[in-house]
Amino acid sequence: MRFTVALLLLIALPASANYLELRRNANVYLESNTGSQQIGRLEFDGSLQIIRLQSDRRENGFHHIQLQESGRPGWVHKSRTRLRPGNPPDEIPGSCDDHLVHGTPSASDQLLCRDGYALGYNFSRRSADWVAYRLTPGIHDDGNVERQDDFREDEDLPFEFRTTPNDYEEPVFDQGHLAPSESLDDTIAMNSQTFLMSNMTPQRPGFNRNGWRGLENRERKWASARGEVFVYLGPIYEGQASFIGDRVPVPSHFFKVVYDPEENEAIAFLIPHQDFLTAELNDFLVSVDEVELRSGLNLLSALPNATENSVESVVQPTQWP
């Protein structure tokens, strides 16, 4: 039996009013008449389905739980949860559901769900594996709040795997956005979350401020023209690694895939981390299959297999109008 959750594994503790937040994939053990048995895995997959739990017991590192809907008792290990003070929220903040409706690119070390995007974080690289977001004219046109510029540590990550603005106190690289500030500016909170350091990678100024910015302008244009697109992007690390700050790796390439569900087509770019201009973007068009091969990700995995194979095999001859 399989259970899926988006972000929160909730328990109501009668005396202290706390709840649990699921941090990573977890095994849940439910008790039966013949003893405890494992019945499935809890996985982040962008679903809004929530498993609510009730208990105040913990033994040998396991939280004692009770499924609220069925009343069945069971256990989940503390290493896969984080105890939060207060009452469980009525709604899940920053659900990944909108952004990952077409599939989660990989089972990264930690899934971060924001108002405007979802992000899969890699602890060993101290960097995102990927970022995904749904983009519409209403998101990038209606609010148009001011750029927040509040670069800061991401406190949702374990301390030892975070990066900080201090890592970028060197003369070469920008704090380069993955989920772009200018695209995700519907609300102050949405825009501010793009300045979390988990959303940053080292980017050369001639890359970040020129062609990469031009591609961000293109995605907003395509969202306006098409009504809705889904964007997937991230760094790729090939060859000899170089680092800045406290061993923050510098990507060798970046990719971006824009998927239009209405037209059922995608456009994909794989760009070396070097200075380039917007006018050169056609030089970097590839198939989604090529992006997956080079990145190790599985994009658009929720599409039917035949549809996924068809969409991902195409190399667009030129940029969309």
- Whether 177 sits among the annotated catalytic residues: the reply is yes
What the block records as the tokens of 266 is 């995608």
Strand pairing class (127-135; 118-122): antiparallel
Q: CA–CA separation, 96 vs 92, rounded Å? A: 9
Sign of the alpha-carbon dihedral angle for 266, 237, 99, 275: negative
Catalytic residue among 63, 140, 177, 273: 177
Q: CA–CA separation, 252 vs 269, rounded Å? A: 14
Residue 117 · residue 133 · CB < 8 Å: yes
Element (H, E) at 220: helix 212-226
Beta bridge partners of 112: 119
Q: CA–CA separation, 133 vs 232, rounded Å? A: 7
Sign of the alpha-carbon dihedral angle for 135, 177, 116, 46: positive
Residue-wise DSSP of 28-80: EEEEETTEEEEEEEEEESS-----EEE---EETTEEEEEBTTT--EEEEEGGG
Let me know if 46 is exposed, middle or buried by CB neighbors in 10 A (0-12, 13-18, 19+).
buried
Q: CA–CA separation, 57 vs 65, rounded Å? A: 8
Q: Just list the catalytic residues.
A: 177
